[in-house]
Structure 1
Amino acid sequence: MTHPLFDRDSARSYTERPPRQVPGFDSLHRMVGMLLAEHAPENAHMLVLGAGGGLEMKALADAYPGWCFDGIDPSAEMLKVARQTVVPHADRVQLLQGYIASAPDGPYDGATALLTFHFIPREQRLATLEHIFRRLRSGAAFTLAHISFAQTEPERSQWIARHVGYSAAQDADPAQLRQACDTIRARLTILAPEEEENMLRQAGFTGVALFYAGLSFRGWVAYKP
């Protein structure tokens, strides 16, 4: 079960890409931890969707030594990378291969999904959110951040070009940049921010609020009442 963008070679280089591609990457992790901690005990049990790579689990485990984590991801190759990343906290991290429907029932004290939802097809988005919602205890926070921008033209094409251009070298081959844009159009599911927020509410979450915006990326926090 491996997403076409996460074969063995791309998985091995994954940990190098997000810090280059996502504005304020380290600060995003810090904000996520703060928002989750507002509604979580010191010995919180957290659910991490799209845990392959392990970067957010390591950052959160570094900052919150009492927390433990269940991380789930469909890619075996990405989970191999995650195991290496979280070695200092291996006793507090359980990694599971699969999709959200096969995650433990919880209840969890919080959940997060970073740089994950743009890989989930539109028709699976609401069900994914509902699965997360059911696994949270009442009052728990859920944070998610991924690519999200207007889907009307010419705005959509302009934002895709900005997304690609942000992490590209200044002397990048224009043909390669165009190919990267075409790959995003074909392989990622990008929704407008308004649709993202509406879907969170449809799944049952309340208090939906934007907490992060970095060029093509948006991040929200929401709560289980």
Structure 2
Amino acid sequence: MQSDNIKAIFDQQAAGYDTRWAKTAPIRDALHFLLEAVFAGLPAQARILCVGAGTGEEIDYLAKRHPRWTFTAVEPSGAMLDICRRKAEAGGYLSRCAFHEGYLATLPDQSSFDAATSFLVSQFLTDRNARVNFFRSIAARLRPDGLLASSDLASDVDSTAYTALLTTWENMMRAADIPTAGVAQMREAYRRDVAVLPPAQVAAIIAEAGFDEPVMFYQAGLIHAWFARRD
């Protein structure tokens, strides 16, 4: 999917985004719970880069538990970033956040980060080389041995397991009150606009970008998450 199209979609969805996905919160909450375990060894004053920060859910989770950590939110959708900023203000950690409307390539140079998150972002890069370069650009912003935590939709779309899992995934979304039309639209988006690859291929892309062997630490339905250290 083209970057301008992605930005437009999320600009349009921003106002109701958190409400729309509220009933799927157990999936997000479990990911964040394990994310804190992945980041457990970070310094007391860790600097965290959040790429494709959206409305700032992982920042909100981590900032409230680590009062000396600082965060840089990178998000192309200004409308989503505005919600992220308001959430930080309401949560009392605004002074520990920097907000960059745009892409990682335009983020001003600064000291290396201790860790980075990228949740449900790289899947929108349907060209493999672009996806490798995306993760490579994150690696370039991390200190040596810095940590990446990344999640994406992943599956072997040519397998019978994917067909069964996709049906289960859609049932979950209906149970979460996602409108039927939205579920159908999502199925088409997965086919046309999202690079849903087998988990091993996603891990290989991360490794090729300058990280050690990625470790899958979470799966819920189609969502898989890995952590890896910068080489």
Give TM-score scaled by structure 1 length. 0.89
Q: 1:156: Cα distance to partner?
A: 3.7
**Whole-Å Cα distance in 1 between the matches of residues 229 and 9 of structure 2?**
31
Alignment partner of 1:162 out of 165, 168, 172: 168
Give 2:155's aligned residue: 149
Shift of the 176–18 alpha-carbon distance from structure 1 to 2, 3 Å rule, reads closer
Alignment partner of 1:100 out of 80, 98, 104: 104
**Whole-Å Cα distance in 1 between the matches of residues 147 and 137 of structure 2?**
14
Shift of the 17–114 alpha-carbon distance from structure 1 to 2, 3 Å rule, reads farther
Give 2:122's aligned residue: 117
Query: How big is each residue's C-alpha offset from its partner over 1:167-218, in whole Å with a ceiling of 9 and x where there is no partner?
Result: 2138988666434312332232212101111111111101410100111110
Q: 1:23: Cα distance to partner?
A: 4.8
Percent identity over the alignment? 26
Alignment partner of 1:137 out of 113, 138, 143: 143
Output the amino acid matched with 1:92.
R
Give 1:7's aligned residue: 11
Shift of the 64–179 alpha-carbon distance from structure 1 to 2, 3 Å rule, reads same
Q: 1:6: Cα distance to partner?
A: 1.1
Structure 2: 5+ residue stretches without partners? none
Output the amino acid matched with 1:49.
V
What is the number of residues matched between the two proteins?
223
Structure 1: 5+ residue stretches without partners? none
Q: 1:121: Cα distance to partner?
A: 2.9
The 5 Å alignment of 1:34-113 reads 34-38=37-41, 40-87=42-89, 88-105=92-109, 106-113=111-118
Deviates more, 1:100-109 or 1:164-173: 164-173
Contact 1:119–1:189 at 8 Å: present in 2 too?
Answer: yes
Contact 1:29–1:59 at 8 Å: present in 2 too?
Answer: yes
Q: Superposition RMSD on alpha carbons, in Å?
A: 2.3
Shift of the 66–196 alpha-carbon distance from structure 1 to 2, 3 Å rule, reads same
**Whole-Å Cα distance in 2 between the matches of residues 178 and 51 of structure 1?**
26
The 5 Å alignment of 1:143-222 reads 143-169=149-175, 177-222=183-228
Shift of the 81–202 alpha-carbon distance from structure 1 to 2, 3 Å rule, reads same
Query: How big is each residue's C-alpha offset from its partner over 1:13-53, in whole Å with a ceiling of 9 and x where there is no partner?
Result: 11234453465321211211221232x21001110001120
Shift of the 15–178 alpha-carbon distance from structure 1 to 2, 3 Å rule, reads closer
Query: How big is each residue's C-alpha offset from its partner over 1:35-73, in whole Å with a ceiling of 9 and x where there is no partner?
Result: 1232x2100111000112011111010111110001101
Output the amino acid matched with 2:100.
L
Shift of the 199–173 alpha-carbon distance from structure 1 to 2, 3 Å rule, reads closer
Q: 1:153: Cα distance to partner?
A: 4.0
**Secondary structure in 2 aligned to 1:221?**
strand
Give TM-score scaled by structure 2 length. 0.86
More helix by share: 2
**Whole-Å Cα distance in 2 between the matches of residues 73 and 171 of structure 1?**
27
Contact 2:203–2:214 at 8 Å: present in 1 too?
Answer: yes
Q: 1:142: Cα distance to partner?
A: 0.6
